[in-house]
Amino acid sequence: MDELFKKAIKENEASRKPLSAVPWKPDQPYAQPFFTHDRSKQAWAPAEPRPLQKGDSGGGNGINRLRLYSWNIDFMLPFAKARMDAALDHLDGLTSKLPSTTAAVIFLQECISEDLETIGEKEWVRDKFNVTDIDGSNWQAHYGTTTLVDRRLDITSCFRVHYAKTHMERDALIVETSLASSPSGTPKTLRLCNSHLESLALEPPLRPAQVHALATHMRAPDVHGALAAGDFNAIQPFDRTLHADNGLKDAYLELGGSEDSDVGYTWGQQAATTIRERFGCSRMDKVYFTGGLKVHGFERFGADVQVSGARERREIKKLGFEKPWVTDHLGVVAEFEVVD
């Protein structure tokens, strides 16, 4: 695993784009396109944002709740396509069971370009979702974040904020949409923020500055409520209060969850055995929220999802895993209602 880690870091360093070669500026919003699948052309095509208009009836099609799924699919392991295929099959099963009044949004972290191709090939994704990325042109390095948004939701804006304080080229991918609030039914603007915060216990730490930047965009004027989720790499004592330090709520804690609990851990259970023995388990993946939102549920998903091919299973286990899991993280899912 150490060799695999070193190789991944080297690839990421080699693919890093210098600031002089990119059109965005650190900590500033950079608008990017999002895409919808055009059946007539059998291709993903850029879509136009639809700003919220006066008199709009809200989130559309009777939707009154949003369920947010967030999952880090390890970019370092081999067999990216086989692992993403299995992960997407699992997500398809989860999202296909939702009531018609609940919209689904999927945040993915640590994607590579091959993952984006795999996502774009799935019929259920083409039929039900718009996607923020079809290639890695808006990432500053080898891997990054991508978001899938229920096609029934109007996207009013899509942009990234590339963090100024980062050694690993991390950013926040922000999609703005609207949803009808309870009980008035008035449409309200929401921001959905997908982020992979800085890894490792660095000195000085970088995650506090990243969450501060994220929270600033979550509380922007005219935004009624905002969600942020992802692999937050919460491995140090200060990570426990980053949400409160920035005026945000932690969905898991709001519903009675506690720190240092097996039921809250999202990383470690599916790590290589020697890695788990060295670092233990932790609650790396979180959902933060602020504004006019009420959380109705929080849980983990993705436990024991494995690749199916015999060769893939054999080679992944050779790397020191008990089972050929698709990723070392569990996903987290939270359901929200917009309230007046």
Chain segment 300-339, per-residue pLDDT in tens: 999 999 999 999 999 999 999 999 999 999 999 999 999 9
Structure tokens at 302: 């993705």
pLDDT band at 107 (very low <50, low <70, confident <90, very high): very high
pTM score above 0.85 = yes
| Measured distance CA(269)–CA(278) in Å, rounded | 12
Q: Give the length of the chain.
A: 340
Asked if pLDDT for residue 54 goes beyond 70, the answer is no
Q: Output the pLDDT for position 12.
A: 73
Collect contacts of 39-42 with beta carbons under 8 A, ≥24 apart.
39/126
DSSP-based three-state secondary structure for 169: coil
pLDDT band at 51 (very low <50, low <70, confident <90, very high): confident
How does pLDDT run across 125-154, given as a tens digit for each residue? 999 999 999 999 999 999 999 999 999 999
Q: Rounded mean pLDDT of 204-212?
A: 98
The rounded distance, in Å, linking the Cα atoms of 115 and 199 is 21
Question: What pLDDT is attached to residue 156?
Answer: 96
CB 128 within 8 A of CB 122: no
C-alpha–C-alpha distance, residues 94 and 92, integer Å:
5
- Go through the domains of the chain in sequence order and give each one's CATH number: 2-42+57-338 (3.60.10.10)
170-188 pLDDT tens trace: 999 999 999 999 998 899 9
Residue type, 162: H
Percent of the chain residues topping a pLDDT of 90: 90
With a CB cutoff of 8 Å and minimum separation 6, the contacts of 117 are none
